């Protein structure tokens, strides 16, 4: 990210570097150290979300911050078989592959369009917050400008609206409640939360109707407030949705059904639009 790419072999041959170098873990016989913390200590004293923050972002989260990250991971855990990643994993599970292969099938469908809005929303929130700070402008005016620019160029505004939850994403309200509580407790600054709410208001004003924050938007607030980089968002979504993918894959494997395709044979969901058959 931002560094000039170099050949690993040439770098190694120049000397001064090991073949693999990492600041994440040091594993030796009888000893495992993660970001300077003995694994025994992490097992005894840290939550899974706290360890995620430590390993992924090198963050020492407080209890409140860990709870916030945990809530973000829980929020995206499953969204039913409508989600392509879930459907693909379940189809794979009926084809005789091991559980890990079915899970990998689902995970591998997570990309820019399905699972990438969180990263895109983090970039948008970073842009809004940094512009407001650099220009000494209100975040509301910056949000209005950003929304107008994107709508003029017919760009998506990631993190807002949902094709299924038209009125409100059910994950929005509880996540914002936890975010507000963390702000009130001084656990996070709240600048990205303010940017998100300003964007939400600007979008509603421009569209003439409410288009609220969705799960990608509220989790993007959390990741930004905790100091995680946008590049981590897809990975965090994999950790979150991966649990749902495991559960759905396992359920489908236990159903006893075999070779389930995307739709039943002969169903009108499939339509041939190629050239007519030649005799």
pLDDT value at residue 255: 95
- Beta bridge mates, 160: 213
Q: Is 29 left (phi over 0), alpha (psi -120 to 50) or beta?
A: beta
pLDDT of residue 81: 96
pLDDT tens, per residue, the chain with 279 residues: 456 678 999 989 999 899 999 999 999 999 999 999 999 999 999 999 999 999 999 999 999 999 999 999 999 999 999 999 999 999 999 999 999 999 999 999 999 999 999 999 999 999 999 999 998 999 999 999 999 999 999 999 999 999 899 899 999 999 999 999 999 999 999 999 999 999 999 999 999 999 999 999 999 999 999 999 999 999 999 999 999 999 999 999 999 999 999 999 888 899 889 999 997
Q: Which domains does the chain carry?
A: 21-60 (no CATH), 117-232 (1.10.230.10)
- CA angle 103–105–107, rounded 5-degree value: 70
- Whole-number pLDDT of residue 267: 81
Strand order, beta sheet including 31-34: 25-28, 31-34, 37-38
Task: Report pLDDT for 3.
Answer: 61
Report the C-alpha gap between 77 and 188 in whole angstroms.
Answer: 24
Strand, helix or coil at 144? helix
User: Is residue 137 within 8 Å of residue 131, measured between CB atoms?
Assistant: yes
Q: What pLDDT shows up at residue 4? A: 66
What's residue 279's pLDDT? 75
What's the rounded Cα separation, in Å, for the pair 34 and 20?
16
In terms of Cα–Cα distance, which of 103, 80, 84 is closest to 253?
103
């Amino acid at each position: 990210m931002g560094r000039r790419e170099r050949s690993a072999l040439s770098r190694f041959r120049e000397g001064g570097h090991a073949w693999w170098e990492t600041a994440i873990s040091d594993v030796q016989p009888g000893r495992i150290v993660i970001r300077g913390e003995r694994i025994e200590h992490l097992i005894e004293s840290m939550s899974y979300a706290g360890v995620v923050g430590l390993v992924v972002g090198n963050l020492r989260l407080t209890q409140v911050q860990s709870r916030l990250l945990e809530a973000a991971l829980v929020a995206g855990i499953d969204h039913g078989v409508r989600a392509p990643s879930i459907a693909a994993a379940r189809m794979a599970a009926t084809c005789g592959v091991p559980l890990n292969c079915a899970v990998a099938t689902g995970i591998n469908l997570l990309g820019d369009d399905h699972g990438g809005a969180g990263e895109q929303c983090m970039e948008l929130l970073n842009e809004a917050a940094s512009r407001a700070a650099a220009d000494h402008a209100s975040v509301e005016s910056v949000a209005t400008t950003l929304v107008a620019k994107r709508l003029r160029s017919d760009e998506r505004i990631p993190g807002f609206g949902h094709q299924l939850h038209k009125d409100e994403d059910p994950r929005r309200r509880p996540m914002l409640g936890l975010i507000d509580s963390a702000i009130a407790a001084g656990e996070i600054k709240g600048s990205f939360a303010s940017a998100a709410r300003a964007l939400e208001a600007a979008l509603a004003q421009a569209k003439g109707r409410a288009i609220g924050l969705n799960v990608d938007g509220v989790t993007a607030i959390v990741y930004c407030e905790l100091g995680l980089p946008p590049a981590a968002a897809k990975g965090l979504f994999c950790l979150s949705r991966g649990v749902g993918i495991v559960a759905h894959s396992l359920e489908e494997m236990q159903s006893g059904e075999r070779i389930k395709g995307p739709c039943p044979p002969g169903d009108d969901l499939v339509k041939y639009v190629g050239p007519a058959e030649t005799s």
